[in-house]
Structure 1
């Protein structure tokens, strides 16, 4: 089986730690209901040399939405201060395996980094392999990250409205099926329940197994079961733009270079006054 170019195994990462041009990023982030605290877990132990990427801080400071993309200048400043360069090989991971790290994988690529990998199985598999863990925060030498937003990678509200109205692209929703159908409430106040007209339900957990991305064959089965053609253009969405990136990672792993991520995701769409919302499963599903 061809190796996924976006993944790196714990042992393969352990073999190259310390090499010039390699940067490691702890991209852990958790929902309040998970009752886990990413910064505290990082302080208690992390992959040696890893810096912590705060997904609540590296955002657009003018937006009232969670996890909104910052502009290129802010992104460059923030990640440069972490010692990260766009010319590095950047390996990201999280504390669940495949949950929040794909969002940061997508962000680095969207702002111009050329070689970004995901640690296969994340920190749990690193620990399970008995590999070294560091408690101390590594010294950081500020770096230059030359950032430029790839406007083909992200979708914002005006374009999303047009996509929905015209049925111009497949829409894949990574939220749990109950939230997609509107039978479970949204966790954020003021956000309506349901989904965008024409969207398909593809919970991100259907693309993972034991904290790892599924095989290409199983990924294709998951897309087919959801009614999505993974070889055609897809725009992804979720609650706030984090787990949507798991779908983007899966699509890119299957060779789809036409995937986009709706940055405002359901928090923006469901709280807007002029956006159509449907409930129930997708007709025909």
Structure 2
């Protein structure tokens, strides 16, 4: 994570030209539950041909915890990736059926687990269809041969509530919340019963839809201007948060595209922070 990553995206044209390569795997990272935007719906299962189903919400999520959408363990990722027939030197292209929604989450998971060649399809399935490329109605089956990738979690990708609390006190990091303006301001009731409304004290608000241009990420220069105007040019270290750690990953990838190299995910996000009365919140915007 020491350098910026403006090359985390591939276009539909690139994928169409390269998807027949033997060591390239296309993974569907779609989620059944979509929050924070009006879901795109399909009459039937629609997928990019020969793509594999990641089962992101099951195989790449730690479902043993009380928090929703908890980051998976390295053991989980190793098992799921090997079952998909993926080797350590392969290339992965991730997409989701909302355009840009959960594929950045999958990208953060793979990158934090040490996978090198992994990319997001900019625009996802909607852009693929808009560009008149073919679709299928079922996923491909994993290869019979088991893959050899072994995940090794790089902890610097994530921060804990304790670290976020320290950041609110020191001001060493800029904390950016990807939730809607209404939820950030505490003007909209939280979806979980008993959850406090508001936001992490001292955090900024950048709704995840603002970094997107329809189904795709905005251009790097536009994203850079957006982040700099929000946190200032002298705030290189960013902590991204949201409701449960999914849409914060959209901001994390956007920040990388914008040239910010020190970016971390607060995976517990508001599901953890808002439920703990010991952690400080602001009920109104600091912007």
TM-score by length of 1: 0.91
In structure 2, the partner of 1:261 is 265
- Extract unaligned runs of 5+ from structure 2: none
Q: CA RMSD in A?
A: 2.2
Q: CA deviation at 1:155?
A: 0.9
Q: Is the 8 A contact 2:236 2:261 kept in 1?
A: no
Q: Structure 1 residue 145 and structure 2 residue 146: aligned?
A: no
In structure 2, the partner of 1:52 is 53
In structure 2, the partner of 1:209 is 213
Q: Distance between the aligned counterparts of 1:225 and 1:33, measured in 2?
A: 23
Q: CA deviation at 1:196?
A: 0.6
Q: CA deviation at 1:230?
A: 8.1
- With 220-229 and 195-204 compared, the bigger mean Cα shift is at 220-229
In structure 2, the partner of 1:24 is 26
- Extract unaligned runs of 5+ from structure 1: none
Q: Is the 8 A contact 2:105 2:246 kept in 1?
A: yes
Q: CA deviation at 1:245?
A: 0.7
- With 15-24 and 258-267 compared, the bigger mean Cα shift is at 15-24
Query: Using a 3 Å threshold, how does the CA distance of structure 1 residues 76 and 37 change in structure 2: closer, same or farther?
Result: farther
Q: CA deviation at 1:221?
A: 2.4
Q: 1:119 aligns with which of 100, 121, 124?
A: 121
Q: Structure 1 residue 75 and structure 2 residue 87: aligned?
A: no
TM-score by length of 2: 0.90
Q: Distance between the aligned counterparts of 1:122 and 1:114, measured in 2?
A: 20
Q: Is the 8 A contact 1:26 1:42 kept in 2?
A: no
Higher relative contact order (CA 8 A, sep 6+): 2
Q: Structure 1 residue 190 and structure 2 residue 191: aligned?
A: no
In structure 2, the partner of 1:62 is 64
Q: Distance between the aligned counterparts of 2:84 and 2:76, measured in 1?
A: 13
The alignment covers a number of residue pairs equal to 279
